[in-house]
Amino acid sequence: MNNNALYQLSYGVYVVSTWDKGRGTGCIANSAMQITSQPATIAVSINHDNYTNQCIQDTGKFAISILGEHCNPGVIGTFGFKSGRDNNKFDEVQQAVKGFLPVVADACGYIVCEVIDKMETSTHTVFLGKVLDADVLKQDVPMTYAYYHNVIKGKSPKNAPTYIAE
Ligand SMILES: Cc1cc2nc3c(=O)[nH]c(=O)nc-3n(C[C@H](O)[C@H](O)[C@H](O)COP(=O)(O)O)c2cc1C
């Protein structure tokens, strides 16, 4: 199999967040996509080992913060390479509450979803969310996964669904 074909798929870079007993938490995910328009539904794929998975299971809700090209790369460092199990991620990144969920204040926009279904794979849960609220927060170019790799020179950790061991 030629893994380079998988690299030809396009994605964005998002923070998928929710509440954890009153505090905001979440992780970076490239794996968000709109599934239907009427009603608007979104799917995200979150690794079983990510603390965010457990928190979404508990709350039944998640928000997607759409990161822009000019966002502080520290947002990706905090949400993509640390765990909410032992870090208060929103102590390092400014939080806003939108549609009753915590989102990244500096994002281009956000989408708030209620989980209406889920599918388990061997490593990830695919959460299907009905969109409850969404808005544009600022003018910036939404970051693509290609921009993250080619311009920021970012890496994908093991729990990202696109991870391929070297
Ligand atoms: C660019 C990038 C994309 C990622 N995409 C995903 C993803 O789609 N799904 C996922 O489960 N983890 C993904 N990750 C990994 C999680 O963000 C990472 O494991 C995080 O530390 C988990 O935090 P948590 O334990 O607080 O949930 C990605 C990380 C990066 C940097």
Q: What is the pLDDT of residues 22-63, one digit of tens each?
A: 999 999 999 999 999 999 999 999 999 999 999 999 999 999
Burial class (CB in 10 A: 0-12, 13-18, 19+), 132: middle
| Residue 101 tokens, joined | 């969920």
What is the helix, strand, coil percentage profile of the chain, to 5? Answer: 20, 45, 40
Query: How far is the centre of ligand 1, averaged over its atoms, from the C-alpha of 98 (Å)?
Result: 22
Does the structure show a pLDDT above 90 at 90?
Answer: yes
**Measured from the CB, is residue 157 less than 6 Å from ligand 1?**
yes
Query: How far is the centre of ligand 1, averaged over its atoms, from the C-alpha of 124 (Å)?
Result: 11
Residue with tokens 């544009």: 136
**Measured from the CB, is residue 148 less than 6 Å from ligand 1?**
yes
Query: What is the structure's pLDDT at 162?
Result: 83
Q: How does residue 160 score in pLDDT terms, banded at 50, 70 and 90?
A: confident
Query: What is the structure's pLDDT at 159?
Result: 86
Number of C-beta neighbours around residue 100 at 10 A: 11
pLDDT digit string, tens, across residues 93-133: 999 999 999 999 999 999 999 999 999 999 999 999 999 99
Query: Which fold is adopted by the domain 12-150?
Result: Pnp Oxidase; Chain A (2.30.110)
Strand partners for 126: 45, 119
Give the whole-number percent of the chain exceeding pLDDT 90: 89
Query: How far is C-alpha 42 from the chain's CA centre?
Result: 11
pTM for this predicted structure: 0.97
Domain residue ranges of the chain, discontinuous segments joined by +: 12-150
Pair 68, 141: CB distance under 8 Å? yes
Query: What is the structure's pLDDT at 166?
Result: 61
Query: How far is C-alpha 165 from the chain's CA centre?
Result: 22
